[in-house]
C-alpha cells in the first residue's frame, strides 16, 4: 500500500490524499461502509460501487472467523472472491467485538479467550493468530490486535490495557513480517493507538506506534462512552505525533459532524455502522438535517426523500412512501434508508475533499455543521 499526501488546507489540519492498494485507489478523506459478515447490510455490491460510490469497505475478523469460517474463505480465494467486491477491503482485528463480550471473555498476556455469541463455544485470539486469520480473509489493510479500553476506565486500568496492547502490537508486527498473503497481493498492517482519555497514555501510545513505520496508523478506543469534546482532544493530541506522510484512520466514528470535525483535525479514514444501523431504524441524514421517518409528520409528505440527494433512491421515492415502508417493517424500507445514508456519507467526504483542495474546507464546514446536526 502506498499513500500520497496531496494537499493540507492552509489554516487547518484537513488533508486530501491518495491511497493505492493492489485492489485499487482510495481518495481521502474517505468513509468506509461496514460489511460485518462480508456484506454491507441490505446493500448490493453493485449499488455500493455505482450508486453509493464506496471506494473501500470493511469486514470484521471476529464475525468472519465464526461464519463462514476460514476454510470456506480460503476455498473461495479470500473475501474479495467470496463476496464479489473487487475494490480494497479493510478488516478490523476483532478486538472491539471481544471487548464487547465483557461477561464471556478473559484477557491475558497471551491473548483473549472468549465464548462465541452464537453458540457459547470457546475460542482464543492471540496477536499471531489474528494476523493469520486476516491473512486468510485477504483484506488489503489489516489491523493489529488490541484491547479497546472502555471510555470511562480509570487510569490504572487504562495503563494496564495499553501495556497489553503494546505487547500485542510487537507480536503482530513480528508475525506479519514472517508471513505472506496466500493470494499473492500486498497487505498492510495498521497499528492502533489506545490510551483511553488520558493524554500521557495517548502520547506514549502514539509515539510507540509512530516508531513502527507502518503503512498507516489507526486511532482506536474513542466513541466508546467518553464526552465528544474529549474525543476531539485525543484526536488532536495523537495526530500531532503520528507521521504526516501516512494515513490516519479513526475507528468507529461516527456522526456526520464527527467526520467533519475529525477531518479538520487531520483524520483521513473513517468507518461506522451508524448510516446503515440508524437507517434501518428510520433515521435519515441529509445536508439540511436529520429526519426520523417513523414520525407522523412524514405520513402525507409526497416530496422526494432528498431533492438534493445523490442516490437514485432520493428522487425515485417519496418521504411518505419511505415512512410507510419503515412503519410496516418492509425490507425495501431498510434498503432505501441504508442506500440513502451511505450515499450521503460518501457525498460528505467527497465534498470535504473538494473543499480541502480549494482551501475552503474550514469555511464550508462552518457553514454546514449546524444544518447537518439539526432535527427536522
Q: Could you list the active site residues? A: 92, 271
Expressed in angstroms, the distance from the first to the final Cα of the chain is 42
Cell of 191: 497499528
Query: By CB neighbour count within 10 A (0-12 exposed, 13-18 middle, 19+ buried), where does 127 fall?
Result: buried
Pairing of strands 122-125, 111-115: antiparallel
Cell of 33: 461502509
Is the torsion defined by CA of 77, 78, 83, 84 positive or negative? Answer: negative
Q: For residue 264, which of 57, 54, 16, 56 has the smallest C-alpha distance? A: 16
Region of 289 on the Ramachandran plot (φ > 0 left; ψ -120 to 50 alpha; else beta): left
Region of 80 on the Ramachandran plot (φ > 0 left; ψ -120 to 50 alpha; else beta): alpha
* CA–CA gap between residue 192 and residue 214 (Å, rounded): 11
* CA–CA gap between residue 131 and residue 175 (Å, rounded): 7
Cell of 279: 437507517
Neighbours of 42 (CB within 10 A): 18
Q: DSSP of 287-325, one letter per residue?
A: TTEEEETTSGGGTT--SBS-TT-SSHHHHHSBHHHHHHH
Can you tell me whether residue 343 is helix, strand or coil?
helix
Radius of gyration for the alpha carbons in the chain, expressed in angstroms and rounded:
20
* CA–CA gap between residue 239 and residue 205 (Å, rounded): 12
Q: To which H or E segment does residue 132 belong? A: helix 127-137
Cell of 133: 486469520
Amino acid at each position: 500500500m502506498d499513500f500520497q499526501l496531496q494537499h493540507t488546507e492552509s489554516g487547518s489540519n484537513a488533508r486530501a490524499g491518495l491511497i493505492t492498494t493492489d485492489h485499487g485507489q482510495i481518495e481521502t478523506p474517505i468513509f468506509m461502509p461496514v460489511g460485518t459478515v462480508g456484506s454491507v447490510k441490505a446493500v448490493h455490491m453493485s449499488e455500493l460501487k455505482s450508486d453509493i460510490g464506496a471506494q473501500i469497505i470493511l469486514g470484521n475478523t471476529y464475525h468472519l472467523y465464526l461464519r463462514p469460517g476460514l476454510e470456506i474463505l480460503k476455498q473461495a480465494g479470500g473475501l474479495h472472491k467470496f463476496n464479489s467486491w473487487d475494490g480494497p477491503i479493510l478488516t478490523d482485528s476483532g478486538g472491539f467485538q471481544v471487548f464487547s463480550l465483557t461477561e464471556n471473555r478473559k484477557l491475558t498476556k497471551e491473548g483473549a479467550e472468549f465464548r462465541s455469541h452464537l453458540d457459547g463455544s470457546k475460542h482464543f485470539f492471540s496477536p499471531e493468530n489474528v494476523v493469520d486469520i486476516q491473512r486468510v480473509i485477504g483484506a488489503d489493510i489489516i489491523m493489529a490486535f488490541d484491547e479497546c479500553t472502555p471510555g470511562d476506565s480509570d487510569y490504572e486500568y487504562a495503563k494496564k490495557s495499553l501495556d497489553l496492547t503494546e505487547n500485542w502490537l510487537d507480536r503482530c508486527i513480528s508475525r506479519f513480517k514472517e508471513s505472506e498473503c496466500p493470494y499473492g497481493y500486498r497487505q498492510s498492517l495498521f497499528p492502533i493507538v489506545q490510551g483511553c482519555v488520558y493524554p500521557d497514555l495517548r502520547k506514549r501510545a502514539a509515539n510507540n506506534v509512530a516508531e513502527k513505520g507502518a503503512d498507516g496508523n489507526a486511532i482506536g478506543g474513542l466513541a466508546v462512552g467518553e464526552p465528544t469534546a474529549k474525543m476531539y482532544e485525543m484526536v488532536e493530541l495523537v495526530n500531532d505525533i503520528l507521521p504526516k506522510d501516512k494515513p490516519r484512520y479513526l475507528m468507529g466514528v461516527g456522526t456526520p459532524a464527527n467526520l467533519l470535525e475529525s477531518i479538520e483535525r487531520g483524520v483521513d479514514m473513517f468507518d461506522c455502522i451508524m448510516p446503515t444501523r440508524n437507517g434501518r431504524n428510520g433515521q435519515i441524514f441529509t445536508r439540511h438535517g436529520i429526519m426520523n421517518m417513523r414520525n407522523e409528520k412524514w405520513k402525507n409528505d409526497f416530496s422526494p426523500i432528498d431533492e438534493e440527494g445523490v442516490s437514485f433512491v432520493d428522487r425515485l421515492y417519496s418521504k411518505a412512501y419511505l415512512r410507510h415502508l419503515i412503519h410496516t417493517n418492509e425490507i425495501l424500507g431498510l434498503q432505501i434508508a441504508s442506500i440513502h445514508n451511505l450515499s450521503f456519507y460518501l457525498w460528505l467526504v467527497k465534498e470535504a475533499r473538494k473543499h480541502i483542495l480549494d482551501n475552503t474546507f474550514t469555511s464550508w464546514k462552518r457553514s454546514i455543521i449546524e444544518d447537518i446536526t439539526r432535527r427536522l
